[in-house]
């Protein structure tokens, strides 16, 4: 068979690195991202906040937005938790495979056992929780609101340490 033939092993969807989270093409892609630039914590939080997020060339932010949407859905419909958690696991795996496709030299040094996809999922959950408390507590000064936003800040710092390769700061529990 000619190497240029469109056989099943030679098909590669166009522009798979920027496909949407629900795209089968991105899920099955073997294409490598051209240059791995991981978003900073501000970009992630902006993606968690947006109703729909489609930045050009940054599928990680689209998937982060999808994770936040799934966490909001989980708050709104607790009976669908199993299906929502299954979809979250799929998105986390998609993120990890996309990052794993990058050149080894461009990968950030791992400081913890969690994958980058899992870390983004934890940040999305913390953001949704903090935002929920902010809008539903009687007082903005409630200790739970402060604690939730503080946890998000700690996770954001952890993300920054993770993607920059910095040593994590040891905090007292």
Q: Rounded CA gap, 67 and 78, in Å?
A: 16
Judged against a pLDDT cut of 60, whether residue 29 lies above it is answered with no
Strands (E) across 7-98 are located at none
Instruction: Say if 85 falls within a structural domain.
Output: yes
* Residue predicted with more confidence, 20 or 57: 57
H helix and E strand count, the chain: 6, 0
The mean of the pLDDT values for the chain is 74
Domain count, the chain: 1
Q: DSSP class of residue 16?
A: G
pLDDT band at 11 (very low <50, low <70, confident <90, very high): very low
What angle, 0 to 180 degrees and rounded to 10, lies between the N-to-C axes of helices 116-136 and 41-49? Answer: 50
Instruction: Say if 137 falls within a structural domain.
Output: yes
As a whole number, mean pLDDT of residues 158-165 equals 85
Instruction: Say if 156 falls within a structural domain.
Output: yes
Count of CB atoms situated within 10 Å of the CB of 120 = 28
Judged against a pLDDT cut of 80, whether residue 50 lies above it is answered with no
Instruction: Say if 131 falls within a structural domain.
Output: yes
In this predicted model, what pLDDT tens digit does every residue of 110-144 receive, in sequence order? 545 678 899 999 999 999 999 888 887 777 777 88
* Residue predicted with more confidence, 18 or 68: 68
pLDDT at 76: 85
pLDDT at 20: 42
Instruction: Say if 12 falls within a structural domain.
Output: no
Instruction: Say if 171 falls within a structural domain.
Output: no
Instruction: Say if 27 falls within a structural domain.
Output: no
Instruction: Say if 106 falls within a structural domain.
Output: yes
In this predicted model, what pLDDT tens digit does every residue of 97-106 receive, in sequence order? 988 886 444 4
Domain span at residue 150? 41-164
pLDDT at 142: 79
């Amino acid at each position: 068979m000619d190497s240029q033939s469109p056989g099943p092993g030679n098909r590669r969807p166009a522009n798979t690195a920027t496909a949407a989270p629900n795209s089968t093409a991105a899920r099955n892609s073997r294409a490598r991202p051209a240059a791995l630039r991981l978003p900073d914590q501000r970009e992630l939080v902006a993606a968690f906040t947006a109703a729909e997020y489609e930045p050009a060339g940054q599928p990680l932010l689209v998937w982060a937005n999808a994770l936040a949407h799934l966490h909001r859905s989980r708050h709104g419909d607790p009976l669908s938790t199993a299906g929502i958690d299954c979809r979250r696991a799929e998105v986390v795996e998609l993120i990890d495979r996309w990052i794993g496709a990058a050149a080894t030299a461009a990968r950030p040094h791992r400081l913890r056992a969690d994958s980058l996809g899992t870390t983004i999922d934890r940040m999305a959950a913390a953001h949704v929780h903090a935002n929920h408390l902010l809008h539903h507590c009687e007082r903005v000064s409630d200790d739970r609101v402060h604690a939730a936003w503080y946890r998000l800040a700690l996770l954001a710092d952890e993300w920054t340490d993770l993607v920059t390769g910095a040593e994590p700061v040891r905090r007292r529990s």
